[in-house]
Structure 1
Amino acid sequence: MEPIQFMIDQISEELKIKKEQTKQVIRLLDEGNTIPFIARYRKELTGQLDETTLRNIFEKITYLRNLHQRKEEVIRLIEAQGKLTDELRKEIESASKLQRVEDLYRPYKPKRRTRASIAKEKGLEPFAEVLLEKMDYDQIVELAQKYISKEYELSTVDEVIQGGQDIIAEMISDDPVVREWVRNETFNRGIIRVQAKDSDKESVYEMYYDYQEPIKNIRHHRVLAINRGEKEDYLKVKIQIDEKSIIDGLVNKFSLFSKFRELPRHLTKVVEDSYKRLISPSIEREIRQLLTEKAEDGAIQIFSANLRQLLLQPPIKGKTILGIDPAYRTGCKLAVVNPVGKVEDIRVIYPTPPQNKVEEAKKQVKDLVEKFGIEIIVIGNGTASRETEQFVADFISEHDKDLYYIIVSEAGASVYSASRLAKEEFPDLDVSERSAISIARRIQDPLAELVKIDPKSVGVGQYQHDVSQKKLEASLTQVVESVVNYVGVDINTASISLLQYISGMNKTVAKNIVEYREKNGKFKNREELKEVPRFGAKTYEQAIGFLRIDGENPLDKTSIHPESYAVTYALLDHINLTTRDIGTENLKQKLKELDLEKLSKMLDVGLPTLNDIVASLIRPFRDPRDELPKPIFHKDILKIEDLKQGMHLQGTVRNIVDFGAFIDIGVKEDGLVHISEMSEKYIKHPLDVVSVGDIIDVWVLSTDVQKKRISLTMKKH
């Protein structure tokens, strides 16, 4: 039976939250509720725990349940061998880590044939037990002679003694106390030593050609870089530790040696063999795996944080956008997108080498600007971006238009353009034309466009190909789901790509909604969604609060859940207003004058829910992204050669890695603010100071025109 109370106690202690909160969250999760739904609509039950804490509870209960399952399995396997004692059962049941369970199971785990198992097959187990008694060497030789046997292919005393020693060596290696001690000692005192396989060979890993660092101090990005260099056969990696101190420690740690005042030479030799041949290689693999897992988790965490900020970039509403996918030989593809995302025009211009048809290209752009009232030009940062930017800047300066440009990351645009989704959306366009549309829409509504792309392809991570793809995908999917539900979607305009991330929904349900909408016209109210195939009661409960409809019922365009409509009507009736007053100044003023704590008791509703209802009535179609700073637009161009030491600039955080942040300052090359230049105070990680999309003040530290490197600082000069 699952020890659920023990799990609740442990999670509550680790997360420093009340046991009742943990209990309710686990119950809600077990009932099939999603984390965004619980966070938004079950605040009274959870004590207003945020999404991050809810996900932590989910991860910890999943781990503990898997741990419990493994304990039961290990107990069953040992019991089947007839070797389970009450003491061992208690040790397994009380283990709080999976590693401890595996250590306890190790002596009973079936192994491939080893030197020890071969010795056991030859009947040397009783001899090994005698070797652990207080005997001098002559006594051992005398006893060993009794085991010489043609049947077991034991022809010499040395073979018998070696077999007995092999059995003891494996006993030491399998001892859980020994393994835990060696593992901790190696992690805390060991050094990771990296060398070049061929120091004459050039590579990006040259800084690691002769490198060492304490295991406990090594940063995540170094672990992943070293792993990659090793995989690509440039580096060789070894864990080093003072072997003598470990072997001396083992003599004291292995309980069967406690009877000896001084360990006999033949047993000292066994301890040394056990460590060097069995324990050390195994522990090294375990520690390398542990470092890799922690590094992967760190990289995934950074990627997820960056992705969240990227998806939350504020949309540029009400503007007609010209998107440009730059190129050389094949020309720059242009796409005009109107304020609601509809494509108005597609063209190709050739302002870049080898064609250099600059004047003709300017005429084309001028025609589009005047015809559609374009206000913003968006340029992809791929091949020929620099030359295209120069062309656009020259065009703006010559035509004196109220026109601005911005360069955006093309990451993932080509992936989307070649996808089945893009082909379905624009069947008559080629890949680069679709890419130009995607580039334009990234400014217009970043979330709606970026959800069409595999999250791994959006270009805001580090070492994403070196981490567990399953864990990365799961984490990034959670981020997209969280952001989409945080923002909410208009059911009458949202794409399948966007809808599939709504709480309680999947791609099939999202597709059914779009097909229903295309067949029957716009949804007029939330109730109508119940007619959509596979949109059952549970899906309705989980999803409906995140779906907005500007239709018959004004409440349907808010984030108020239909289960709270009755309370909302009672609230409006209390202040002598109706749903027609939603969003008006009169309603806002009356709501601000209310004593919500008193009213919550009167209406028999939780205060957190009432607060959310009031906020939704004040701002019915609120988009939280609108409150974030808008991206920086440019009129003229800035080159790396224009930068001077100490120059003050504003920039946008494009990417964050362990060692710093890359900043777009309007130059083709992003500048790097190293973590040491982010604050006068010590900071553990760049994410403590900045997020992707932040607009920040920076000063130029230095430039390297040859290597196209820009060093920046956030410390005021």
Structure 2
Amino acid sequence: MAKELIGIIADELGIKDRQVKGTVALLDEGNTIPFIARYRKEVTGGLDETQLREIEERLEYLRNLEKRKEEVIRLIDEQDKLTEELADKINKATVLQEVEDLYRPYRQKRETRASKARQKGLEPLAELIWKQEDTVVNLEELAQEYINPELEIESISDVYQGVRDIIAEMVSDNAEIRKKLRHDSFEQGIIESCCTDKGLDEQGKYEIYYEYSELLKKLPPHRVLALNRGEKEGVLQVRVLTPDEMILDYIKNEIIITDQDVFKQQLEMAIEDSYKRLIAPSIERELRGKLTEQADEHAIGVFARNLRSLLLQPPLKGHVVMGIDPGFRTGSKVCVIDSTGKLFDTATIYPHPPQNDVESSRKKITAMLKKHGVNSIAIGNGTASRETELFIVEIIREINIEVKYIIVNEAGASVYSASKIAREEFPELDVSMRGAVSIARRLQDPLAELVKIEPRSIGVGLYQHDVNEKQLVESLGKVVESAVNYVGVDLNTASQSLLQYVAGINSSVAKNIVKYREENGVFKTRSQLKEVYRLGAKTFTQAAGFLRIDNGDDPLAQTPIHPESYQPTRELLKDLGFLPEDIRNKDRLNLLRSKLSRISIVDKAKELEIGIPTLRDIIRALKQPGRDPREELPKPIFRTDVLSLADLKPEMTLQGTVRNVVDFGAFVDIGVKEDGLVHISEMSSDYVTDPLNIVNVGDIVTVKILAVDEKRKRISLTMKI
């Protein structure tokens, strides 16, 4: 069976059997996806993380499917109803729904109309009518024999009703019929919605769904979630319309094989009842469940891609940053952090109503900027953000120092502020001041700071409150893990929050690493990790390559080269006339790069007895020791002046930062309080199927203003310039 599963997965994903086989073996040994993707390319044939996760997910599904097949066969066999034909059908099923359909007639049900009829002894007559055998001459005479007042069967009409109840359930439990109806209902079905209470929709969020209909198969994911949300809030009534007449004709043609009216009449009545009472409601639930599941998967995928882009925003190295968490009544919280994220200074200012203490606030900010040599100011985008931006711009104009500001998305800052992590980091600070620190740090190193916040609170999803929560948390956790390991982590400065996402490391081991660092000082070599409590050989193998040490005893520890490859790396350097220390010398490094570019990869891999992919990765790492892949991305846009909605005019061209990407377009920060929307139709002159094929969160884009609606605070943008 294992061989069969490998073949199925290989065919589905369009890769070779040996790639799947190697990956499955590595997964079964407990290796993590980031480790396999980076350090086991020879085994997987160079599969990337996305392909590896697809194999992992599909493998889990197929293994669970096999377990369910075995369980279903066992349960039917225990009822002495298992036939070779049925067992064969179950074993050949490729999706779980098929297995459940085949099991449906044998599943223990709660009391139904059919089960009551069976208890009254009507099953033999139902079976006789179901088989439609020509030997029956007078059905009414047979039915007469089943009348039994003690069993509440007072008349022939009661007999027929009970018989039809049994047949209706038999029709409903037919696996082939359900499969066909499910397919036809999806292909030709229509979803329809109407408004039930406009009073519950004061902002008109669901107005387009007040009188709405669309083919099920064409319904886009974001509309599925919107309809579900509107229905849940009591604003909308939603139903599925299916081609009932066509479906009933199909069922009758499948079931009725006789022209004898004696059977036909009862069968037709039973089929119509079965469809209306049992099948149609069930199929509608299944279809809407399927649509929701697909929409969840799609929305989570969009959220995940947005989150990854946000996490991989370039760090602002060497900058002293002022963070401001704006506020009115309770004041704006201000902090200054040094270039390593260490807290220098804090203050609370009240430049806005009701206090309006502008002069004192200006003096405080000016003094802090000058005292600490602040390079950049990060202003949170929440309450009073616009007023704080105007206030800061006036100060920048007045003072003679080089400082710029940027508006930072503060989504999740309040979640962090009240968290255990924040309390442990800053026990002496009040909650809102911790928010200012988070705003400053997320500008300085987005990845290191955002990992402290549960991913769904970071604010780059549109439907995170509508989708399956467990699935969302699991998927976003994988995104964070992938991003952290892609970048690598400084072993001597990383927080517990960051370390716990490194391949192989859990929260307790991460805590032990920090504790070891506090008690023994900084790590000098990666091998010291083996001294950390509960960090065993297996964890070391998974994690070591992703943990970097700058200025340690071994220069190779600042690269992504895994310790298991240190020996061939040193041999390679020696053959070229270099030492590991040379990667820290600019001139020697340039010479090394030149020589590495001229070697024969194939010949050198044989000579060093390592795989070609591993050698390529070693060479890449030696050429760019200490490289941070995020630094190649466009830097955030800083500003020194402010714009308002009133300043914006159609045809004006501006630069902006993509804040969020959704199914229907992208929201872009162009320096005013409200983000503008580039609708999917305005992203390119070519047809765009997915906005994520054009832009990602954090991208710097040039846009032109199409329209500004000051009343509704909406800005329409285009990228077709």
Query: What's the TM-score once normalised by structure 1's chain length?
Result: 0.98
Give secondary structure in 2 for the equivalent of 1:631.
coil
Matched AA of 2:175: P
Cα deviation, 1:199-239, whole Å, max 9, x if unaligned, reads: 46534222211111111111111111111111111111111
- Alignment partners' CA distance in 1, 2:181 and 2:710: 50
Cα deviation, 1:464-483, whole Å, max 9, x if unaligned, reads: 12211111111010000001
Which one of 77, 83, 94 corresponds to residue 75 of structure 2? 77
- Alignment partners' CA distance in 1, 2:529 and 2:437: 31
Cα deviation, 1:105-126, whole Å, max 9, x if unaligned, reads: 0010111111111111111111
Alignment of 1:273-672 (within 5 A): 273-550=273-550, 551-583=552-584, 584-672=589-677
- Alignment partners' CA distance in 2, 1:664 and 1:201: 31
Provide the residue aligned with 1:690 in structure 2.
695
Provide the residue aligned with 1:208 in structure 2.
209
Provide the residue aligned with 1:154 in structure 2.
153
Provide the residue aligned with 2:237 in structure 1.
236
In 1, are the aligned partners of 2:258 and 2:264 still within 8 Å (CA)?
no
Provide the residue aligned with 2:50 in structure 1.
52
Tell me, yes or no, if structure 1 residue 680 matches structure 2 residue 685: yes
- Alignment partners' CA distance in 1, 2:500 and 2:641: 41
- Alignment partners' CA distance in 1, 2:3 and 2:418: 51
User: 350-359 vs 288-297, which deviates more?
Assistant: 350-359
**Offset at residue 264 of structure 1 (A):** 2.4
Provide the residue aligned with 2:165 in structure 1.
166
- Alignment partners' CA distance in 2, 1:261 and 1:47: 65
Matched AA of 1:323: G
Provide the residue aligned with 1:187 in structure 2.
186
- Alignment partners' CA distance in 1, 2:197 and 2:142: 52
- Alignment partners' CA distance in 2, 1:64 and 1:418: 42
Matched AA of 1:615: R
Give secondary structure in 2 for the equivalent of 1:406.
strand
Cα deviation, 1:534-582, whole Å, max 9, x if unaligned, reads: 0100000000000111210111111110110110011011101111111
In 1, are the aligned partners of 2:490 and 2:548 still within 8 Å (CA)?
yes
Give secondary structure in 2 for the equivalent of 1:530.
helix
Provide the residue aligned with 2:252 in structure 1.
251
Give secondary structure in 1 for the equivalent of 2:138.
helix
- Alignment partners' CA distance in 1, 2:258 and 2:72: 32
- Alignment partners' CA distance in 1, 2:96 and 2:400: 67
**Offset at residue 603 of structure 1 (A):** 1.1
Matched AA of 1:577: F
Cα deviation, 1:73-126, whole Å, max 9, x if unaligned, reads: 000000000000000000000100000000000010111111111111111111
Matched AA of 1:662: F
Give secondary structure in 2 for the equivalent of 1:438.
helix
Aligned-pair identity in percent equals 57
Matched AA of 1:172: V
**Offset at residue 283 of structure 1 (A):** 0.5
- Alignment partners' CA distance in 1, 2:275 and 2:336: 69
- Alignment partners' CA distance in 2, 1:362 and 1:129: 89
Residues 618 and 261 from structure 1, CA distance in 2 versus in 1: closer, same or farther, beyond 3 angstroms? farther
In 2, are the aligned partners of 1:128 and 1:164 still within 8 Å (CA)?
yes
In 1, are the aligned partners of 2:524 and 2:549 still within 8 Å (CA)?
yes
Provide the residue aligned with 1:715 in structure 2.
720
**Offset at residue 10 of structure 1 (A):** 0.5
Give secondary structure in 2 for the equivalent of 1:264.
helix
Provide the residue aligned with 2:59 in structure 1.
61
Matched AA of 1:82: D
**Offset at residue 151 of structure 1 (A):** 3.6
Provide the residue aligned with 1:223 in structure 2.
224
Matched AA of 1:628: L
Cα deviation, 1:447-492, whole Å, max 9, x if unaligned, reads: 0000011111100011212211111111010000001001001111
In 1, are the aligned partners of 2:197 and 2:234 still within 8 Å (CA)?
no
Cα deviation, 1:160-187, whole Å, max 9, x if unaligned, reads: 0111111111111100011001111110
Give secondary structure in 2 for the equivalent of 1:582.
helix
In 2, are the aligned partners of 1:177 and 1:253 still within 8 Å (CA)?
no
Matched AA of 1:709: R
Matched AA of 2:177: V
In 1, are the aligned partners of 2:678 and 2:717 still within 8 Å (CA)?
yes
Cα deviation, 1:41-82, whole Å, max 9, x if unaligned, reads: 000111110000000000000000000000000000000000
**Offset at residue 136 of structure 1 (A):** 12
- Alignment partners' CA distance in 1, 2:491 and 2:122: 75
The answer for unaligned runs of 5 or more in structure 2 is none
- Alignment partners' CA distance in 1, 2:470 and 2:199: 37
In 1, are the aligned partners of 2:185 and 2:243 still within 8 Å (CA)?
no
**How many equivalent residue pairs?**
712
In 2, are the aligned partners of 1:548 and 1:558 still within 8 Å (CA)?
yes
- Alignment partners' CA distance in 2, 1:99 and 1:520: 56
User: 581-590 vs 532-541, which deviates more?
Assistant: 581-590
Matched AA of 1:45: V
Matched AA of 1:685: D
- Alignment partners' CA distance in 2, 1:680 and 1:138: 74
- Alignment partners' CA distance in 2, 1:274 and 1:329: 64
User: 659-668 vs 394-403, which deviates more?
Assistant: 394-403
**Offset at residue 150 of structure 1 (A):** 3.0
**Offset at residue 23 of structure 1 (A):** 0.2
User: 140-149 vs 476-485, which deviates more?
Assistant: 140-149
In 2, are the aligned partners of 1:134 and 1:260 still within 8 Å (CA)?
no
In 1, are the aligned partners of 2:451 and 2:498 still within 8 Å (CA)?
yes
Matched AA of 1:246: I
- Alignment partners' CA distance in 2, 1:681 and 1:400: 47
Provide the residue aligned with 2:85 in structure 1.
87
Give secondary structure in 1 for the equivalent of 2:619.
helix
Matched AA of 2:380: G
Residues 136 and 229 from structure 1, CA distance in 2 versus in 1: closer, same or farther, beyond 3 angstroms? farther
Matched AA of 1:338: D
**Offset at residue 155 of structure 1 (A):** 1.3
User: 153-162 vs 14-23, which deviates more?
Assistant: 153-162
Alignment of 1:25-44 (within 5 A): 25-44=23-42
- Alignment partners' CA distance in 2, 1:260 and 1:384: 79
The answer for unaligned runs of 5 or more in structure 1 is none
Cα deviation, 1:360-387, whole Å, max 9, x if unaligned, reads: 2221111111111111111000100010
- Alignment partners' CA distance in 2, 1:390 and 1:135: 91
**Offset at residue 359 of structure 1 (A):** 2.0
In 1, are the aligned partners of 2:645 and 2:672 still within 8 Å (CA)?
yes
**Offset at residue 259 of structure 1 (A):** 3.8
**Offset at residue 399 of structure 1 (A):** 2.1
Two-structure CA RMSD over aligned residues (Å): 1.4
In 2, are the aligned partners of 1:651 and 1:697 still within 8 Å (CA)?
yes
Provide the residue aligned with 1:705 in structure 2.
710
In 2, are the aligned partners of 1:25 and 1:54 still within 8 Å (CA)?
yes
